[in-house]
Amino acid sequence: MNRRDLLKISGTLFAGSILTQGFAATNTLSTITDTDGTASTDHPLLLHYNENSLGLSPKAKNAIVDVLSNVNRYPDSYIEELQQTIAEAFKMDTKQVTLGVGSSDVIRAVVNQQVYKATQKGQKIQLITPHPSFFLAADHAQGMGIPVVSIPLDTNFCMDITKMKQAADSFDGISIVYLCNPNNPTGTLTSSATIADWVKGANADKNYFMVDEAYAEYITDKNFVSGTSFIREGRDNVIVLRTFSKIFAMAGMRLGYGLSTEKVAKELVPFMAILNISMPTAVAGTASLKDSAFIQQSRAMNSNSLAMTTEAFDALDIKYLPSQGNFLFHQVKCDQKQYIEGMAAEGITIGRPFPPLMQWSRVTLGTPDEMNQFLTVIKKFKKKGWV
Ligand SMILES: Cc1ncc(COP(=O)(O)O)c(C=O)c1O
């Protein structure tokens, strides 16, 4: 029996003990983690979705266990507490926080709401996205049947704000502008000042900015200014998206949020499910936000893993982009399929291809131990001429 099977059993025992003995099983839960394994094809290292390899904050785990005895009730007060904790963190009002089942859920709702509003007014609508970038806003817009304008990244692999603005200005309708800062998959930060020039000068009736800051907590660049500054200025054509899936290690819990003016948040209400956040997810979110030690630990781990990976890449003469997220976009010299399959054969799952950047690959920054395993394979690939 391997370690994972043992963990599965301890998880089952844990669930059983909840049913039979109340919720005194905190220690059992804390052992359910898959972060210290060695890569194998049966149990690959998951370095493909930009998750946090540290696992859930200990305080969040305890909060989940503690709340299980209450889940026969609706989660209203727990959701309100989460909204309040988020609002306090951003010095906003709780009414400015839109909670979603992941930030993907808020992205979906924003597109639906904007399309609905434009249709009601008989106006045309399009979505402008950098390319490549996080796909969801564009995919959803396409699914809704509205045109998607993809603007290639500039020569520095940043969002090409000039060209995105041109696409908006030349359209005789509403543009939903998807901005991803730092951008996924490149990890690059686009100048906050350049974005601010556009947002502040834009016609608010024609431009709606969706600013995705999924990786904001990892940013070390002092020049970064969050899009939340636009909300504090009272702009009704901006929403900032944040997630608990990245630094807060809650990808499996599904929790994200939008920050906007109260007016914008109110307009989104009909497009969100009521009481959409479960009690365990709500308490985990609240506890994670308050667990500053865990946030620091996650940031420190990311910095260490980034430093050791970039140092190794420098030594091996492998090009990479400066990353402000928990992943690294690096150059490969072989076919993407060969590279991804080669990594998989070594027990490492890495990011999918991001066309048209077919000579590049994205790896999530896991624990230093995980990065050591990744770098061992990279050294083999270097000898083969694949990187
Ligand atoms: C830029 C960006 N936005 C949003 C998401 C989706 O996050 P969530 O898990 O909150 O839906 C991701 C996921 O990888 C992402 O990279």
CA angle, 156 then 331 then 136, to 5°: 65
**50 alpha carbon to ligand 1 midpoint, in Å?**
9
> Is any ligand 1 atom within 6 A of the Cβ of residue 245?
yes
Q: CB–CB of 245/296 below 8 Å?
A: no
> 42-57+293-384 has which CATH code?
3.90.1150.10
What integer pLDDT is reported at residue 36 of this predicted model? 55
Architecture per CATH, 68-290: 3-Layer(aba) Sandwich (3.40)
Spell out the residues 6+ positions from residue 14 whose beta carbon is closer than 8 angstroms to its own: 25, 28, 29, 32
The DSSP code sequence of 160-176 is -HHHHHHHHHT-SSEEE
Spell out the residues 6+ positions from residue 367 whose beta carbon is closer than 8 angstroms to its own: 35, 53, 54, 301, 305
> Is any ligand 1 atom within 6 A of the Cβ of residue 134?
yes
Q: Which residues of the chain have pLDDT under 50?
A: 1-35
Q: What is the CA radius of gyration of the chain?
A: 22
**121 alpha carbon to ligand 1 midpoint, in Å?**
31
What integer pLDDT is reported at residue 42 of this predicted model? 84
Which residue's alpha carbon is nearest to atom 3 within ligand 1? Answer: 214
- What phi-psi label fits residue 157: left (phi over 0), alpha (psi between -120 and 50 degrees) or beta? left
Q: Is the peptide bond before 356 cis (omega within 30 degrees of 0)?
A: yes
Q: Are strands 174-180 and 125-131 parallel, antiparallel or unpaired?
A: parallel
What integer pLDDT is reported at residue 24 of this predicted model? 31
**104 alpha carbon to ligand 1 midpoint, in Å?**
6
Q: CB–CB of 214/103 below 8 Å?
A: yes
What integer pLDDT is reported at residue 154 of this predicted model? 98
Identity of residue 352: R
User: Best mutation site among 51, 99, 103, 188 for ligand 1, i.e. most ligand atoms within 8 A of its Cβ?
Assistant: 103
